[in-house]
Amino acid sequence: MQSIDAPDVVRTTCPYCGVGCGVAVSVGAGAVTLSGDRAHPANFGRLCSKGAALAETLDNEGRLLYPIVDGKRASWDVALDRVASGFKDIIAQHGPGAVAFYVSGQLLTEDYYVANKLMKGFIGSGNIDTNSRLCMSSAVAAHKRAFGADAVPVCYEDVELADLVVLVGSNYAWAHPVLYQRLAAAKKARPGMQVVVVDPRRTATCDIADMHLAIAPGADAFLFNGLLHHLRREDAMDIAYVEAHVEGFAAAFEAAKTVSSIPKVAQVCGVEESELSEFFRLFAKTERTVTVFSQGINQSSSGVDKGNAIINVHLATGRIGKPGMGPFSVTGQPNAMGGREVGGLANQLAAHMDFSDVSGVDRVQRFWNASNMARVPGLKAVDMFRAIADKKIKAVWIMGTNPVVSMPDADRVREALMACELVVVSDCVQHTDTTACADILLPAAGWGEKDGTVTNSERRISRQRAFMPMTGEAKPDWWIVTQVAQRMGFAGAFPYTQPAQIFREHARLSGYENDGARAFDIGAMCEIDDAQYDALQPIQWPVNSQAPDGTRRLYTDGKFHTPGGKARMVAVAAQLPAIATDVEFPLVLNTGRLRDQWHTMTRTGKVPRLNAHSYEPYVQMHGRDAQRFQLQDGGLARLSSRNGTMLARVQISEEQRTGSVFVPMHWNDMFARSARVDALAAAITDPISGQPELKHTPVFAEAYRPAWQGFVLSRERIALPEAGYCACTQGAGYWRHEIAGEAVPENWRDWVQDALGCSGGLIEYRDAAMGRYRAACIQDGRLEAVFFIAPDQRLPEREWLASLFGQAVIDPADLAGLLAARPPKGAVANTGRTVCACFSVGEKTIMNAIQEQKLDSVEAVGACLKAGTGCGSCVPEIRRILKGSS
Ligand code: SF4
């Protein structure tokens, strides 16, 4: 590990999304600076807004610093003994099926490997599942059905080489921003390249699209089945390839017959016949085609079939295993792929072996010398939490994830954990919705402290390297699991003292009795020494004697991992989502990511410039739906489903289809009150993959009409218990609280003083007739808080007020206009919501510059304001503002 004072550059990997960008970190004199690693083949120096802000997430604020047992600080020895004895006692009384691990795509491969080995080889249960279940398990199952292995055939370069890129259910621009940047650059260099976006929403990704098919939610399999028929009708199949390398065509074609004519497909998909014909024509004629698919496909009650419907059209045209061609599932998390390699999913074993193959189970048992090998799959995530609720699982260890926010029917998940006999959570963050349910908290190492490997969406294994010492008493996840395994009596099988040892064992298992039948093989790396492990360069698996330097793309020879060596087209009976809308719940709720937040905001929520892009939970809907449900832009709405309710700010947008609404997935109880969107989602899953249908929840929307609305800006975060609605975000030197309440306090001054703990220095303005109240707390000349209340959302803008927290003593000119929210002449103007996170440029600033300086292009805005010239993530938004201003 590098010393904190060493000026050396440490090459590591971004911990956020499945793109797996390389990051070059310099640590000197206690300060960390970072940039994209120009040598890393995933990003060649690029980073998105989240990756570029990583250095701002490294402080200790919010970190879990030491073990906590039953709410009290404990030593590692006490905590580890409690975990080991707790699990052992429950296993002794109720058997191995009464315990479970719920792990995460945030874990490194070495962490994952050890956890999986302990549960499946020594505890003797398959009950280890991962939050990747929620992300891409449908793609895993689709790959296995089609290719005989969970293998992504393409590499990132293929997307750049393609003449047609179809993006299905993927907001690439926000969810995989650097891949989007690479695609945008390729299209700029070759304008003839066509990009088609298939998505019910008009997302930022459409900025570079030649065509946007705003398909009806969940109709994707109808679209691709229809395309299969079209390819056959138009004689656009590669018959020779199908005959030589594919089986199952006739059955797949037959199954696709039910809805196959263009008018019928257009009707089911809710698109115009002409645009559908155009898409089919484009696909049929374009040899070099990549179809990228993501959570919009996977998070479905028929996600596996949807994945196979996509793969079918690539197999029918022979567009796989060649440059610029192939179906491409992009993973959500940094190490979702690594988890798949080691068997982190409950229905997998290890190193791409499977419970369905007895010889594979025996092989893993022999390799591990496992004392209690699991022989049947464990419970997948949704079933696992149901079993916890039913008290069949009595002890669960949750590692690096936040299921109380991210699981469907999230309120029931919280209830289940609160009632569970033993809940252990290892995490680097102390306060999350899930750690609040834990009996034992174990402090895990965070990014910058961890050492191991991750695998990105193109099968590329990269090192995540430590560049700073561990915070407090934090320990690596592999170490924590190893210690528990030793205390449970399995010391001989868990001798690990460093991650390189684990990696070598993992590599050896991948090559063990592997005659090429298993796609995942990194056997050539099983004897690397510690120095070689430290210096490991990014490499794509397989890495074996045939491919010692790794493998860029798979299936170049048309040989697949099925017993007969042929790929399988799957008969897909296209279906619409499991639960349809009805009179009671007439809108379809879709969920997804924001550009600048990651998962449950535990890290990105610490960065003011990332928070400034979107500082409240919102529900985006079409104007006609807003009218229908009597909602106002900027007002508050209550969304309800059969499972739960939430509150969010209404955002009217023509980018939504009528009948559909969109809510970001990130908000949780640590940052908002009543804004966990997955509390609304039903625990309905794909029958094969077990992946929940998070993209399609029937909901009802109604106006939430509080008695008052307001905001508080304060140096410290404050609790506002009477506010029925509250969203908090951290700004530069202050906290922003957007609030609303149902009961008007008897005395606002008392309320403010209670909330702020402000004993003196309060200045106030009251207009009782208009229901307005404003106050500011000033102590020793310094602004501590401002408090604005109104009967509705018509409130002053916040930016100038927020800028006053940068003053050690408030300027008298600013003080004069404070409660009127009126800046003095020449003061920083209200800049609006941040659009460019790299250079903190607000929406209003851009609009004003466009108007005043007659700017007419993204480049002109960049030259004038620098906006859009950093990571590039905001370019689609700048173009949207330009369009709106013209
Ligand atoms: Fe990190 Fe993904 Fe952004 Fe790359 S694209 S910097 S991996 S969040």
| Cα–Cα distances in angstroms (integers) from residue 465 to residues 23, 64, 447, 468, in the given order | 10, 21, 9, 9
Please state, in angstroms and rounded to a whole number, the distance separating the CA atoms of residues 524 and 846. Answer: 53
Please state, in angstroms and rounded to a whole number, the distance separating the CA atoms of residues 686 and 578. Answer: 9
Q: Is the dihedral of CA 122, 125, 126, 127 positive or negative?
A: negative
Q: Tokens for 878?
A: 């700048």
Please state, in angstroms and rounded to a whole number, the distance separating the CA atoms of residues 233 and 532. Answer: 54
**CB distance 178 to ligand 1 below 6 Å:** yes
pLDDT at 755: 85
Ligand 1 centroid to residue 168 C-alpha, Å = 20
pLDDT at 283 over 80: yes
* Atom from ligand 1 closest to the CA of residue 177: 5
pLDDT at 2: 37
Lowest-confidence segment of 471-475, 671-675, 697-701 by average pLDDT: 671-675
Band of pLDDT at residue 543, cut at 50, 70 and 90: very high
Residue 478 CB contacts under 8 Å (≥ 6 apart), including other chains:
108, 110, 111, 113, 114, 452, 496, 499, 502
Please state, in angstroms and rounded to a whole number, the distance separating the CA atoms of residues 617 and 409. Answer: 18
Ligand 1 centroid to residue 597 C-alpha, Å = 11
* Atom from ligand 1 closest to the CA of residue 16: 8
* Atom from ligand 1 closest to the CA of residue 20: 7
Determine which helix (DSSP H) or strand (DSSP E) holds 628, and give its type and residue range.
Answer: helix 623-628
* Atom from ligand 1 closest to the CA of residue 179: 5
pLDDT at 77 over 60: yes
**603-614 per-position pLDDT tens digit:** 999 999 999 999
State the distance between the two ends of the chain, measured CA to CA, in whole angstroms: 54
Ligand 1 centroid to residue 177 C-alpha, Å = 7
pLDDT at 196 over 80: yes
Beta sheet of 22-28, edge-to-edge order: 9-13, 22-28, 31-36
Please state, in angstroms and rounded to a whole number, the distance separating the CA atoms of residues 135 and 367. Answer: 30
Beta partners for residue 266, in sequence order: none
**CB distance 313 to ligand 1 below 6 Å:** no
Please state, in angstroms and rounded to a whole number, the distance separating the CA atoms of residues 663 and 618. Answer: 6
| Cα–Cα distances in angstroms (integers) from residue 306 to residues 138, 181, 709, 722, in the given order | 9, 26, 44, 46
pLDDT at 93 over 60: yes
**CB distance 177 to ligand 1 below 6 Å:** yes
pLDDT at 5: 41
Most confident among 334-348, 636-650, 716-730, 753-767 (mean pLDDT)? 636-650
Q: Are 640 and 600 in contact (CB under 8 A)?
A: no
Residue written as token pair 């793109």 = 19
**115-174 per-position pLDDT tens digit:** 999 999 999 999 999 999 999 999 999 999 999 999 999 999 999 999 999 999 999 999
Average pLDDT, the chain: 95
**CB distance 16 to ligand 1 below 6 Å:** yes
Q: Are 231 and 260 in contact (CB under 8 A)?
A: no
- Measured in residues, the chain has a length of 886
pLDDT at 64: 98
pLDDT at 6 over 70: no
Question: For residue 348, what is the DSSP state?
Answer: B
| Cα–Cα distances in angstroms (integers) from residue 276 to residues 228, 233, 483, in the given order | 13, 15, 57
Please state, in angstroms and rounded to a whole number, the distance separating the CA atoms of residues 460 and 338. Answer: 10
**CB distance 40 to ligand 1 below 6 Å:** no
**661-696 per-position pLDDT tens digit:** 999 999 999 999 999 999 999 999 999 999 999 999
* Predicted structure pTM score: 0.95
What is the arithmetic mean of pLDDT over 316-332?
Answer: 97
Q: Tokens for 321?
A: 């295993």
* Atom from ligand 1 closest to the CA of residue 334: 7
